[in-house]
Amino acid sequence: MKILTGSHPLVAGRTEFNRAAPWMRKLASRLPPGEAVVEVTLVGRGRMAFLNRAYRGRRGAAEILTFSYAGEDINSGGPDDPRGEIFLCWPALVDGARRRGVSNRAYLLRLLAHGLCHIRGFTHGSAEEERIMEKEEEKLLSPFLPGMQIGKLFA
């Protein structure tokens, strides 16, 4: 998959997000289909709280929201058709990284892997589905992060 990154010019964390973009692209490139496009947008707490309320009926800013456009069949549509959008909230991401004792970049990659798994059709509605999805995320992250750090990301 290919990702396009973006953010509002004044959103918190933009510089660090942009520095992590090559890592994000490498991680996404490990997933088929190779020409599929996913937009990854960095947003602030206010925008994320709005999206979370509007689309999930929940209050507050989530760390990540994923919208898949491919439906059930990841191979539907043309190779350059957008497959989905991932919204990341930098302040919430930083809080999550701090709670886990990992770097912001490591947690950003974990959230990206999570969102890409959702776009590919993985869910975590049950304990078994969550276990399967986490295994897929760990497999995606293993070339980029040491095993000890990966363990902290899922604690």
Tell me what percent of the residues of the chain surpass a pLDDT of 70.
Answer: 92
Q: Give the strand pairing for 37-43 and 82-89.
A: parallel
pLDDT-derived band at 58 (thresholds 50, 70, 90) equals very high
- Could you give the 3-state DSSP secondary structure of residue 5? strand
Is there a contact between 77 and 44 (Cβ–Cβ < 8 Å)?
A: no
Mean pLDDT over 68-86 rounds to: 65
pTM: 0.89
pLDDT-derived band at 72 (thresholds 50, 70, 90) equals very low
For residue 114, give its domain range. 2-153
* Closest by CA position to 51, among listed 34, 65, 40, 37: 65
Nearest-10 Cα torsion for 85, 89, 94, 98: -80
Q: Please determine, for residue 78, whether its predicted confidence score (pLDDT) is greater than 70.
A: no
Mean pLDDT over 131-147 rounds to: 92
Distance separating alpha carbons of residues 137 and 116, to the nearest angstrom: 9
Which whole-number Å values give the CA distances from 6 to 121, 123, 130, in the listed order? 23, 25, 29
What CATH number is attached to the domain comprising 61?
3.40.390.30
- Tokens standing for residue 96: 């999550």
Number of domains in the chain: 1
Tens of pLDDT, residue by residue over 1-35, are 899 999 988 899 999 999 999 999 999 999 887 78
pLDDT-derived band at 83 (thresholds 50, 70, 90) equals confident
Which whole-number Å values give the CA distances from 64 to 56, 73, 98, 147, 150, in the listed order? 12, 22, 16, 23, 18
